């Protein structure tokens, strides 16, 4: 297919100091939970994106000195020459596909706790380290500043030795020293590095100059700068200090990569922000500099990207999440295959990997993090290894992905769905407040399946075991999903909650189906993810009085990992939801509920007209059990395997369901190791020869 000529502008090269990007697609720095601990996995993940057409591929944060150690976050590292080969592997993977590699040097300062090195963190002025940790950073003296500049310079040289084309001077996310110098909130110095904005920008200016002097002949020097901290007039604002910094340093770097701070403001989810949510803040930057400007905002629409370039807002389209969800997004635009783009849904499951110090996952892209480990390519897949036919029962996230990937392999696939439309629980969830974009998980897959002549879809087709056997498929994948449990059993309760059997006690499935509720409605969240909070929003929107109970210390506790928790809590408070945290629901009466303090066990009561229990889900695996109950009949029907996938096996994240469906498709007819073996590649740390020491 030919590219839409309107998109041509996106494929123009852009000069970045001494190097040239082949188009306008720029993968901004993003961590991935692999970094220094899973180096080949990280390198392969970046290489795949270069193959997918991103002209620039950056590392994640890369700490470069023991006094600026960002552990336990798993990031890149350039403490010494010993670290160079790891990053050289990434640069090499990127270069192999004709892209430029960028390295984002970070020095955590007060935002890093130096947990590995145990060195004392440093800041412009003495301040508690960020986060709930009983330590402080000490104020830097002039020698510290000289040291810092030298360390940064040495790191830039190491980045050059690793083969990078771009090196960053980083002042964003409130995660690094140079931003702390600029922000009045942390800089209370009275010397030439404090006071006026010129003075607070001094260190950044010096570091840019040092870096240019050290490596600028061959590498572009990028600045990543948060033009607004969204923290009021005392902080950096885009019409105050943010604009002043860009003006003061305008022509010094080779490119400006601008955004808003902190990280939760920069990487907002679709529940709280639309595509392009940073434009009001970063829009001014191009008027202050002639250097290329890169910006972000969950951009997945090619038309919008074109308009940003044409309107003079951005020169290159920065992306973290869109490049995670679809590493081939640029190539698909280039080839006029817009409908093949797997658009990011804005859920931040990718971000949760970083917070939990594990390799990143992505809801839309099940191959994320598996590029090297399992050899999974986001666009390519092994052709079928037999003429086997596969029946998939259930077209939710697992069934749809399974059908799509098996179809891509060339198998004959039949997808049978009991409902009258494809999507399973994605249809229900995406109708809830703020979650419309989650339907992209369904839409991408249904779009792909429609083009596959070897995938047949049957709607309104609830199958029983006899029908499944009658069809005589070689393999059957059961993806019949799950249903919310109605008796209160879950994390906090190992037995049913007394009173849960009453008619006014309902589940999220009932609420979504439109059950009539009496107020006040008590929502009991023992699930900790999004569901209870979106139901609270929905019911407040419908005019109900809503009481939110949770045994956790705050609402939707797990969403700290998606950086949504504080926004969710604020939204519920603003909507007038009555929140009772650290409370277990101990019994349900006809018109009230009894609670117990999660710490003391002290009880209290609240009026309740209806109770919604959001605790756990049960697999909807009746068909599977029915089939497995008659092994002889299965054999007689010629069915070689029956497998549960997705929520039907174990309810969890949509990302886990998509992954489960994909894994089944990848592994069909594959020569797999026994389950006594580790099923993927891994790197084991090299032991030092310096042993024994004591």
Q: Is 34 in the site for ligand FMN (CB under 6 A)?
A: no
Residue with smaller CB distance to ligand SF4, 267 or 615 = 267
State the CB neighbour count (10 A cutoff) for residue 569.
19
Query: What three-state secondary structure class fits 572?
Result: helix
Residue with smaller CB distance to ligand FMN, 252 or 260 = 260
Q: Which of 319, 536, 595, 658 binds ligand FMN (CB under 6 A)?
A: 319
Give CA–CA dist 585/486, Å, rounded: 14
Residue with smaller CB distance to ligand FMN, 61 or 229 = 61
Which of the residues 311 through 370 are near ligand SF4 (CB under 6 A)? Answer: 321, 324-325, 344-350, 362-364
State the CB neighbour count (10 A cutoff) for residue 265.
23
Q: Is 172 in the site for ligand FMN (CB under 6 A)?
A: yes
Q: Which of 30, 31, 69, 411 is catalytic?
A: 31
Find the distance separating the first CA and the last CA of the chain, reported in whole Å.
67
173 is annotated as an active-site residue: yes
Which token pair is 155? 């790191």
Which token pair is 533? 């909070």
Nearest residue to 423 via CA among 404, 405, 447, 446: 446
Give CA–CA dist 353/646, Å, rounded: 20
Q: Which of 30, 331, 425, 644 binds ligand FMN (CB under 6 A)?
A: 30
CB of 260 to ligand FMN, least distance (A): 9
Largest CA distance in the chain: 86
Convert 250-301 into a string of H (helix), E (strand) and C (coil).
Answer: CCCCCEEEEEECCHHHHCCCCCCCCCCCCHHHHCCHHHCCCCCEEECCCCCC
CB of 559 to ligand SF4, least distance (A): 13
Q: Which of 228, 266, 443, 647 is catalytic?
A: 266
Which of these ranges, 12-20, 181-189, 348-356, 608-616, lies near ligand FMN under the rule CB under 6 A? 348-356
CB of 320 to ligand SF4, least distance (A): 8
Rg (CA), the chain: 27
Region for residue 286 given its phi and psi (left: phi exceeds 0; alpha: psi -120 to 50; beta: otherwise): alpha
CB of 534 to ligand SF4, least distance (A): 16
Q: Which one of ligand FMN, ligand SF4, none interacts with residue 325, CB within 5 to 8 A by kind?
A: ligand SF4
Q: Which of 152, 160, 212, 298 binds ligand FMN (CB under 6 A)?
A: 298
Which of these ranges, 313-321, 475-483, 499-507, 685-693, lies near ligand FMN under the rule CB under 6 A? 313-321
Query: Distance of CA 190 to CAs 121, 124, 612, Å?
Result: 20, 10, 57
CB 566 within 8 A of CB 573: no
Q: Which of 173, 180, 425, 544 is catalytic?
A: 173
Q: Which one of ligand SF4, ligand FMN, none interacts with residue 354, CB within 5 to 8 A by kind?
A: ligand FMN
Q: Which one of ligand FMN, ligand SF4, none interacts with residue 364, CB within 5 to 8 A by kind?
A: ligand SF4
Q: Is 445 in the site for ligand SF4 (CB under 6 A)?
A: no
Query: What three-state secondary structure class fits 671?
Result: coil
Q: Which of 38, 170, 186, 299 is catalytic?
A: 170
Residue with smaller CB distance to ligand SF4, 183 or 363 = 363
Q: Which one of ligand SF4, ligand FMN, none interacts with residue 525, CB within 5 to 8 A by kind?
A: none
CB of 396 to ligand SF4, least distance (A): 16
Which of the residues 58 through 87 are near ligand FMN (CB under 6 A)? Answer: 60-61
65 is annotated as an active-site residue: no
Give CA–CA dist 173/162, Å, rounded: 25
Q: Which of 14, 103, 306, 320 binds ligand FMN (CB under 6 A)?
A: 320
Q: Is 296 in the site for ligand FMN (CB under 6 A)?
A: yes
Give the number of C-alpha atoms closer than 13 A to the C-alpha of residue 201, restricted to the C-beta side: 21
DSSP assignment of 60-92 equals EEEE-SGGG--TTS--EE-SSGGGHHHHHHHHH
Query: Distance of CA 321 to CAs 38, 98, 255, 348, 350, Å?
Result: 20, 22, 21, 8, 8
Q: Is 28 in the site for ligand FMN (CB under 6 A)?
A: yes
DSSP assignment of 473-526 equals -SEEEE---EEE-SS--SSS-SSPPTTTTSTTEE-HHHHHTT---PSSEEEEE-
411 is annotated as an active-site residue: no
What are the residues binding ligand SF4 (CB under 6 A)?
A: 321, 324-325, 344-350, 362-364
- The residues annotated with a catalytic role in the active site are 31, 170, 173, 266
Residues that bind ligand FMN (CB under 6 A): 28-31, 60-61, 104, 172-173, 224, 259, 266-267, 296-298, 319-322, 350-351, 354
């Amino acid at each position: 297919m030919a590219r839409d000529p309107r998109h041509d502008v996106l494929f123009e090269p852009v000069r970045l100091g001494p190097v040239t990007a082949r188009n306008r697609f720029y993968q901004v720095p993003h961590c991935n939970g692999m970094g220094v601990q899973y180096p080949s996995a990280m390198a392969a993940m970046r290489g795949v994106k270069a193959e997918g057409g991103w002209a620039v591929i950056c590392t994640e944060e890369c700490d470069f000195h023991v006094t600026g150690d960002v552990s336990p976050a798993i990031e890149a590292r350039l403490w010494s020459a010993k670290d160079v080969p790891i990053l050289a592997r990434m640069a090499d993977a990127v270069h192999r596909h004709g892209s430029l590699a960028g390295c984002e040097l970070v020095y955590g300062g007060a935002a890093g706790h130096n947990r590995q090195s145990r060195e004392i963190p440093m800041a412009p002025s003495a301040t508690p380290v960020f986060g709930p940790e009983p330590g402080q950073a000490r104020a830097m003296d002039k020698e510290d500043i000289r040291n810092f500049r030298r360390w940064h310079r040495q790191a830039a040289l190491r980045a050059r030795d690793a083969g990078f084309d771009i090196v960053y001077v980083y002042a964003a996310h409130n995660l690094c020293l140079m931003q702390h110098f600029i922000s009045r909130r942390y800089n209370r110095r009275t010397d030439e590095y404090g006071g006026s904005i010129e003075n607070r920008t001094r260190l950044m200016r010096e570091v840019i100059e040092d870096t240019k002097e050290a490596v600028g002949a061959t590498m572009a020097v990028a600045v990543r700068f948060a033009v607004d901290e969204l923290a009021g007039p005392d902080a950096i604002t885009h019409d105050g200090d943010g604009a002043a910094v860009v003006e003061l340093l305008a022509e010094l770097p080779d490119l400006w990569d601008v955004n808003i701070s902190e990280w939760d403001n920069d990487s907002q989810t679709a529940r709280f922000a639309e595509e392009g949510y940073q434009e009001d803040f970063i829009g001014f930057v191009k008027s202050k500099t002639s250097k290329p400007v890169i910006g972000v905002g969950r951009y997945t629409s090619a038309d919008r990207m074109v308009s940003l370039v044409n309107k003079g807002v951005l020169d290159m389209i920065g992306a973290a999440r869109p490049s995670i969800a679809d590493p081939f997004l640029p190539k698909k635009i280039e080839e006029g295959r817009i409908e093949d783009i797997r658009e990011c849904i804005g859920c931040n499951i990718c971000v949760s990997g970083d917070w939990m110090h594990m390799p990143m996952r992505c809801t839309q892209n099940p191959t994320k993090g598996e590029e090297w480990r399992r050899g999974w390519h986001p666009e390519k897949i092994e052709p079928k290894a037999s003429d086997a036919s596969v029946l998939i029962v259930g077209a939710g996230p697992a069934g749809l992905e399974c059908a799509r990937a098996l179809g891509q392999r060339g198998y004959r696939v039949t997808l049978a769905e009991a409902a009258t439309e494809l999507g399973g629980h994605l249809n229900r969830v995406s109708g809830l407040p703020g979650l419309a974009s989650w339907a992209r998980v369904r839409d991408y897959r249904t779009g792909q399946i429609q083009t596959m002549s070897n995938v047949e879809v049957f709607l309104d087709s609830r199958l029983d075991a006899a029908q499944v056997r009658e069809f005589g498929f070689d393999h059957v994948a059961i993806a019949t999903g799950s249903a919310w449990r109605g008796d209160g059993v879950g994390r906090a309760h190992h037995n049913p909650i007394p009173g849960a059997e009453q008619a006014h006690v309902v589940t999220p499935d009932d609420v979504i189906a439109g059950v009539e509720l009496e107020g006040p409605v008590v929502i009991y969240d023992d699930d900790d993810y999004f569901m209870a909070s979106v139901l609270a929003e929905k019911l407040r929107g419908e005019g109900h009085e809503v009481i939110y109970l949770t045994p956790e210390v705050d609402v939707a506790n797990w969403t700290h990992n998606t950086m949504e928790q504080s926004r969710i809590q604020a939204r519920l408070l603003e909507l007038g939801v009555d929140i009772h945290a650290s409370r277990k629901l101990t019994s349900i009466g006809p018109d009230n509920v009894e609670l117990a303090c999660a710490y003391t066990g002290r009880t209290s009561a609240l009026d309740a007209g209806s109770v919604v229990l959001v605790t756990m889900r049960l697999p909807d695996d009746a068909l599977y059990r029915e089939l497995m109950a008659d092994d002889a009949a299965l054999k007689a029907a010629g069915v070689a395997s029956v497998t549960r996938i997705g929520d039907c096996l174990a309810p969890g994240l949509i990302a886990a369901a998509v992954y489960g469906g994909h894994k089944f498709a990848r592994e069909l007819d594959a020569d797999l190791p026994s389950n006594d073996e580790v099923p993927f590649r891994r790197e084991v740390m090299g032991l030092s020869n310096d042993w024994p020491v004591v």
